[in-house]
């Protein structure tokens, strides 16, 4: 497993990993997930439908939509992921991406692989930004004719905004219900129906997302836990490991046994 912030506008995180028995529970990101599989097959649920991520295709998962992930075979899978801002791909493409999350396009697959090659170390930020722009154009070509993004239920969207605004202190369901003039049970049902996971799991996932970024910036794990809203380091460890498939410490190192500073520098010249 290796993770790092590449310093490229539009890309919040790069994540390379190989898993055999880790199964991602339902979770959501606030960015686009641009994924390629290098070995194996990934089965995942997205918007109440099961899909497969194959080596030949590029998988695009929209922000704020719950999905799962697991190996389709006993040999596991190896993947490379770019977490891409909505500045690059507009959230209005969400409906189209839900209809077609697998993009079978050899040129797009090649461009994504090339981008991973130039975000692997410092000094190529402009090239990476240029390649990302071409990838964005190619993806928009695929999604242009797909169905428009459905308007989310306003109540669910309002609750999501409340949860985002109370990421660290949290928000009691009764308080949210009072603000939104709704019954708590109705809030949970509506939110779960719209976004594929209940409000508390959404909030936990957002905190894990925030923790990932702080860990990659080199902040101490105990400080990160409190800063993003977890009770303590153990609380962060439990949820982080369940969602990400590795511990906060190993994630912060970027690659097992390699100190964070070395991971951020990338591989030594001639090592690839």
Condensed to tens digits (0 to 9), the pLDDT of residues 139-169 reads 999 998 555 555 667 999 999 999 999 999 9
Q: How would you list the strands of the sheet with 67-71, edge to edge? A: 24-27, 67-71, 42-46, 49-53
Domain with CATH 2.60.120.280 in the chain: 2-143
- What is the CA angle 142-59-132, rounded to 5? 70
**What was the pLDDT predicted at 120?**
84
Q: What are phi and psi of 140, to 5 degrees?
A: -65, -35
Superfamily of domain 154-253: Homeodomain-like (1.10.10.60)
pTM of the model: 0.82
Three-state secondary structure call for residue 68: strand
pLDDT in tens, 70-107: 999 999 999 999 999 999 999 999 999 999 999 999 99
Is-contact 212 244, C-beta < 8 A?
yes
Residue 77 DSSP one-character state:
E
Is-contact 235 225, C-beta < 8 A?
yes
Token pair 């500073």: residue: 261
Say which residues have a Cβ less than 8 Å from residue 123's Cβ, sequence separation at least 6. none
Q: Give the domain 2-143 fold.
A: Jelly Rolls (2.60.120)
**What was the pLDDT predicted at 150?**
58
**What was the pLDDT predicted at 13?**
97
Domain with CATH 1.10.10.60 in the chain: 154-253
**What was the pLDDT predicted at 34?**
98
**What was the pLDDT predicted at 257?**
44
**What was the pLDDT predicted at 151?**
60
**What was the pLDDT predicted at 144?**
83
Which token pair is 103? 């993009």
Residues of the chain below pLDDT 70 = 145-152, 255-272
């Amino acid at each position: 497993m290796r993770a790092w912030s590449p310093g490229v506008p539009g890309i919040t995180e790069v994540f390379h990993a190989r898993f055999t028995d880790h199964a991602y529970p339902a979770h959501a990101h606030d960015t686009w997930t641009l994924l390629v599989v290098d070995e194996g097959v990934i089965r995942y649920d997205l918007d109440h439908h099961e899909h497969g991520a194959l080596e030949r295709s590029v998988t695009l998962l929209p922000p704020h939509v719950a999905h799962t992930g697991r190996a389709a075979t006993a040999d596991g899978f190896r993947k490379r992921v770019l977490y891409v801002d909505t500045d690059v791909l507009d959230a209005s493409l969400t409906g189209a991406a839900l209809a077609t999350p697998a993009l079978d396009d050899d040129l797009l697959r090649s461009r994504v692989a090339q981008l991973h090659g130039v975000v692997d170390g410092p000094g190529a930020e402009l090239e990476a930004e240029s390649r990302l722009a071409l990838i964005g154009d190619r993806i928009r070509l695929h999604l242009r004719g797909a169905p428009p993004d459905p308007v989310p239920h306003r109540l669910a969207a309002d609750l999501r905004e409340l949860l985002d605004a109370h990421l660290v202190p949290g928000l009691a369901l009764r308080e949210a219900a009072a603000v939104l003039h709704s019954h708590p049970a109705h809030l949970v049902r509506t939110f779960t129906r719209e976004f594929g996971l209940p409000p508390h799991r959404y909030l936990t996932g957002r905190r894990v997302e925030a923790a990932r970024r702080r860990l990659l910036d080199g902040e101490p794990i105990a400080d990160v836990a409190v800063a993003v809203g977890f009770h303590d380091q153990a609380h962060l460890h439990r949820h982080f490991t369940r969602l990400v498939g590795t511990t906060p410490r190993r994630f912060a190192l970027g690659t097992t046994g390699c100190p964070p500073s070395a991971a951020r520098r990338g591989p030594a010249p001639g090592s690839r």
